[in-house]
Structure 1
Amino acid sequence: MAAMRSFVNPPKAKPGDSLAVISPASGLPGILPLPFDLGLRRLADNFGLTAIEYPTTRKMGATPQERAADVHAAFSDERVTAVIASIGGSDQIKVLRHLDPDLLRAHPKPFFGLSDNTNLLNYLWNLGITSFHGTTVMTSLGRGGAMHPLTEESFRAAIFEAGPYELRASKDYNDIDHSWDVPENLEKEPPMMPSDGWTWHGPSRRVSGISWGGNLEILGWNLAAGRYIKDSDAYAGCVFYFETSEEMPSATEVYRLLMQAGERGLLEQFAAVLVGRPKAWSFDQQNSPEAKTEYISGQVDAVLRALGEYAPDVPVVTGLDIGHTDPQLTIPNGAMITVDAVERRIFVEY
């Protein structure tokens, strides 16, 4: 049964609207402007949206208080109908203590972000405001050459349309990065590799539930802080989705993060679990194709081991394009997801 909790789904944007662009995680646009400016042009050219920036949008090293002020300004700005993060980071959790929950409740708007922005996604979930995991200006919108068609399609549906949307497995993917300070890298599309698609595990049944999740490492920080994760029964019947970052946590670390959630009583609450395709290449760890396959297999094994121990009777889908790899599908956070393990289809409610 779905969690019996009511969420505010903020009004949708429409072409011609203004959209707030903020950097609550990191001011990377200030030192890597090429993909950021490309992403802003795509917002205008592909979607008809005008970007409005705030004082810390391009400010590297902004304090948590300054970044919180921009979050408040963006949500209360009557000119804008949606809010999107420029990029992720590594310390957004420090911003949360400076946020005004009453202000955000009074001005609910669709927020888009992933990675470190999981902090704000989770904060909004706790306030009962639907947000969206996926699509940041510098990654999805600033992709070299063109946006991936599936990324563009799901973002367009999420920001403009209400109702059900069927996720589709991509036939190709990429997880190899290219330097953002080289103009030529933004003029060509990244080389793509064949994708094995989704893999289904567990019982074959159809379940629906309110979505909750994000980046696994960040959710671990929220658990450790002890302030931002609710009592386990608040997640009863939810569909849990998660992915891992470009820091490429080991299979052992992934298992232990899920073990923590299991011991907290979280994993047993979920009606289904959706797992993003692990990113298996970084500038610091430039894996060969064989090493990438081994890393991905090890992480999937760790996930299935933990879920087998704490939630053995739930459908699990691995290999979704919902994280740090390309394409990046948009997942609602705090809205209905239907996982049909009989027909092997997934529907999200935008």
Structure 2
Amino acid sequence: MTTISYPPKPSPGDRIAVISPGAGLPGLFPRPYELGLERLRKEFGLEPVEYPATRKMGSTPQERADDIHAAFADPDVRAVIASIGGDDQITVLPLLDRELIAANPKPFFGMSDNTNLLAFLRNAGIVGYHGASVMCELGRPGAMHPQTAESLRAALFTSGAYELQPAEHWNDVNGDWADPATFDAEPETRPGTGWTWVNPDRVVEGRSWGGCLEILGWLLMADREVAHDLTEYDGGVLLLETSEDLLSATEVFSTLRNMGERGLLQRFSALLMGRARTWSLEHPNSLQDAARYATEQREAVLRAMRAYAPDLPIVFDVDFGHTDPQLVIPYGGLVRVDGPARRITVTY
């Protein structure tokens, strides 16, 4: 199995690289981006460092790969964070210098399309961090969600165990970044609903793998950054969540079925399923339709898991991925799922 280790942590006052491995959306929507940079400086004490493609829409895969290399190779940069996700980071992977990055391990924070780079880093022996982007979480209107901020601060600056907590209040409805009025107040939130446990009869601990389900499907189709020797994932904790593209329940089931046919689902000791994103600007679901979507997704996941790993402990509605708050999960790091006690603890 790959030897995976945690990279050294930054300290307040250090420099943090801000890169756009997926899409240069800071160039289209500067308001949430600048707000996120300001919070990195004022609330976390870090100095952002930008690169040529960070704000450039339409950058080439090579330009984005060059920024990744520069960020990891710079000895004065102590951590790396994505500005946002995208939809074609997979084209960057073949251009990355694995030896250069492995020789300069640093904490990387990102999610969604950044599942690509997180999987790459895990295979290079580096624990990454699934969660936090400059535009979405740091650039949240009004203020960061306090649970997001607490989790990110712990992941950035501390090591050791951190117990995740269900959201006290949550949201998955976003305003239009093109409308300045979006940033006049915090998003409206709903009361937390807690987590839903299936097969909570044991305590398991393992190294995490997974990410955004859509991106995992693409990686599997392209045969990139997924181990051919599936024993690599034995005993691990599978992380899955879906994006604002709002995959249908049929698509969710089909992707999981195909993972099961490949023999992947059977390798893991537990599944953490992120709270389903149920709304987007393109699909502004009513509360009733949103609840129906989340229920249908849960049923699709259960149908697949019952077919391929019926005894696997599953926790639904964990607050990571495309939701608010967004808890940071170490990617390739240790995750402990305590079913009898209904507790999830990660190691930062």
State the TM bucket, normalised to the shorter chain.
Answer: over 0.9
Matches within 5 A, 1:291-306: 291-306=289-304
Deviation at residue 5 of structure 1 after TM alignment: 4.5
Q: Match for 1:299: what amino acid? A: Q
Q: Match for 1:30: what amino acid? A: G
Question: Structure 1 stretches of 5 or more lacking a match?
Answer: none
Q: Match for 2:179: what amino acid? A: V
Match for residue 85 of structure 1? 82
Match for residue 37 of structure 1? 34
SS of the equivalent of 1:108 reads coil
Q: Match for 2:171: what amino acid? A: N
Q: CA RMSD in A?
A: 0.8
2: CA distance, partners of 1:144 / 1:253: 32
2: CA distance, partners of 1:161 / 1:243: 25
Question: 2:188 aligned with 1:191, yes or no?
Answer: yes
Match for residue 279 of structure 1? 277
2: CA distance, partners of 1:288 / 1:340: 35
Deviation at residue 79 of structure 1 after TM alignment: 1.5
Question: 2:160 aligned with 1:155, yes or no?
Answer: no
Match for residue 113 of structure 1? 110
SS of the equivalent of 1:309 reads helix
- The structure 2 residue matched to 1:59, chosen from 56, 59, 79, is 56
For the Cα contact (< 8 Å) 1:203–1:313, is it kept in 2? no
TM-score by length of 1: 0.98
Matches within 5 A, 1:1-350: 5-231=2-228, 232-350=230-348
Q: Match for 2:312: what amino acid? A: V
1: CA distance, partners of 2:285 / 2:178: 22
- 171-180 or 134-143: which moved more? 171-180
For the Cα contact (< 8 Å) 2:2–2:123, is it kept in 1? no
Percent of aligned pairs with the same amino acid:
55
Deviation at residue 202 of structure 1 after TM alignment: 1.2
SS of the equivalent of 1:139 reads helix
2: CA distance, partners of 1:290 / 1:183: 29
Deviation at residue 147 of structure 1 after TM alignment: 0.4
Q: Match for 2:246: what amino acid? A: M
Q: Match for 2:290: what amino acid? A: K
SS of the equivalent of 1:47 reads coil
Question: Structure 2 stretches of 5 or more lacking a match?
Answer: none
For the Cα contact (< 8 Å) 1:8–1:108, is it kept in 2? no
SS of the equivalent of 2:95 reads coil
Q: Match for 1:298: what amino acid? A: E
Deviation at residue 203 of structure 1 after TM alignment: 4.0
2: CA distance, partners of 1:28 / 1:213: 24
For the Cα contact (< 8 Å) 1:206–1:340, is it kept in 2? yes
Deviation at residue 208 of structure 1 after TM alignment: 0.4
SS of the equivalent of 1:275 reads strand
For the Cα contact (< 8 Å) 1:240–1:274, is it kept in 2? yes
State how many pairs are aligned: 347
1: CA distance, partners of 2:239 / 2:254: 17
Q: Match for 1:317: what amino acid? A: V
For the Cα contact (< 8 Å) 1:169–1:320, is it kept in 2? yes
2: CA distance, partners of 1:165 / 1:271: 20
SS of the equivalent of 1:97 reads helix
